[in-house]
A = this chain, B = another copy of it.
Amino acid sequence: MLKSLFLSIRQATVELAAPLSPEDMTVQSMPDASPTKWHLAHITWFFENFILKPHATGYEEFDSEFGFLFNSYYYSVGSMYARPRRGLVTRPSVQRVFDYRKHVDEAMVRLLEANPTSDVMFLASLGLHHEQQHQELILTDLKHLLFQNPMFPRYRQCVRSSMRESTSMNWATGKEGIHEVGFKGNGFCFDNETPRHRILLSPHAMADRLITNGEYREFIQDGGYNNSELWLSDGWAKITTEEWKKPFYWHDDLEREFTLNGLEAMDLNTPVTHLSFYEADAFARWAGCRLPTEFEWEVYTDGQTTQGNFVESNSLHPQARTSKDTQVFGDVWEWTMSAYTPYPGFQPLEGSLGEYNGKFMSSQMILRGGSCVTPQSHIRATYRNFFYPDARWQFSGLRLAKDI
């Protein structure tokens, strides 16, 4: 069963690349983004380096140069090609990277068929969740790249539902007192979701849906980007220096936005996305509210299933909600007011894989819930995503909270 999961997740990546030319897969549009080709090779290298080389007897490395080229940030594994230069490596070709994937996949299948140890099974699970993270990044990085093109090209034909009517926002009273947060159970989780521990919540309320394009446009039209009182100091410096006046992919006319389907008329009832933390925070202040903490969010999800608008729906864009949908999963990652710090008693994984999560625990903010480009099976209520507060190229939006 792990083998079939392996094959299906690996295949999903290939399908993401299918609409792309070698040109599309090679270019890097900013230091934070990577070329599709690099993603394709890196997630393969992850299996080769952490599973096949240590655990598959007789495995032959595909190409000894690839470790240097496709390691991301595992310093303890060895040196690596500088991240902002990933787009300069035109060789190996895209075709050779696919050959690399084939080589590794065959070896992985042999290993998974041969009564793998629990170590190997854990590492394979980790590799697949890692691959799913990069599936999301392939799409967000590609969106950034296509946006550089003045012709605003489409990635592929996406599913679009007819526009829906707006729905009122209701408030759910947050549970008071002590709660448990963090991962519980037998399935997979990342180290940063552990250990499960008790926290104390103050009384608060949570909005039952996401903020929409229409609401965010009101904020803009009310002068939100010109009123320093609404902004954190760093945020004000950022929007002033960068001359930000709107979400990242909105057109100047505030009537259209760039999507993976090309430039489209904006649906005012669709959740607003591609906001920085600063913008989400400023909007919340303008609305007389605040962002939720990550624990308020996690407690709020209690009992909700991970249904929503994920990558599988091929919308590749958030959708206006239907009447009762709380939108906690899918659509957009929700900025919280919680900084990314370790849980009490946190222990990173041993060895190089300990570099996966723990070392990023400074200056980043927690986002929760997954997005329209997240694979559905990748998300959990306890899942902690994290980005710098000025990051906007992810599908990031917001839900309001308030003290009561």
Instruction: Spell out A's residues near B (CB within 8 Å).
Output: 21-27, 29, 37, 65, 68-69, 73, 75-76, 81, 85, 87-91, 93-94, 145-146, 148-151, 153, 178, 197-200, 202, 204, 228-229, 231-236, 277-278, 281, 337-339, 341-342, 344-345, 354-355, 359-363, 365, 389, 403
Contacts and interface: CB of A to CB of B under 8 A. Distances in A.
Task: Give the top 7 A-B pairs by smallest Cβ distance, nearest first.
Answer: A339-B339, A75-B228, A202-B344, A88-B148, A23-B90, A22-B22, A23-B26
Contact of A363 (B198, B234, B341): B234
B235 A362 contact: yes
Contact of A23 (B94, B148, B234): B94
Contact of A149 (B91, B153, B345): B91
A398 to B, nearest CB: 15
Contact of A233 (B73, B90, B148): B73
Contacts of A197: 202
A291 to B, nearest CB: 10
A342 B65 CA distance: 48
A73 B354 CA distance: 41
Nearest to A277: B362
Given A21-B22, A202-B197, A236 B75 contact: yes
Contact of A337 (B25, B149, B229, B341): B341
The count of identical subunits is 4
Contacts of A204: 344
Contacts of A149: 88-91
For the residues of A in contact with B, the DSSP-based class is mixed
Contacts of A202: 197, 344-345
A21 B148 contact: no
Contacts of A354: 229
B81 A234 contact: no
Q: Which of A75, A145, A342 has the most CB of B within 10 A?
A: A75
Contacts of A365: 362
A47 to B, nearest CB: 22
Given A229-B76, A341-B339, A345-B202, A27 B87 contact: yes
Nearest to A351: B229
A178 B345 CA distance: 17
B363 A145 contact: no
Contact of A148 (B89, B93, B360): B89
A207 B329 CA distance: 43
Nearest to A201: B344
Contacts of A29: 88
Contacts of A360: 232-234
Given A24-B90, A27-B90, A200-B200, A359 B148 contact: no
A91 B24 contact: yes
A359 B233 CA distance: 5
Nearest to A343: B202
Contacts of A85: 148
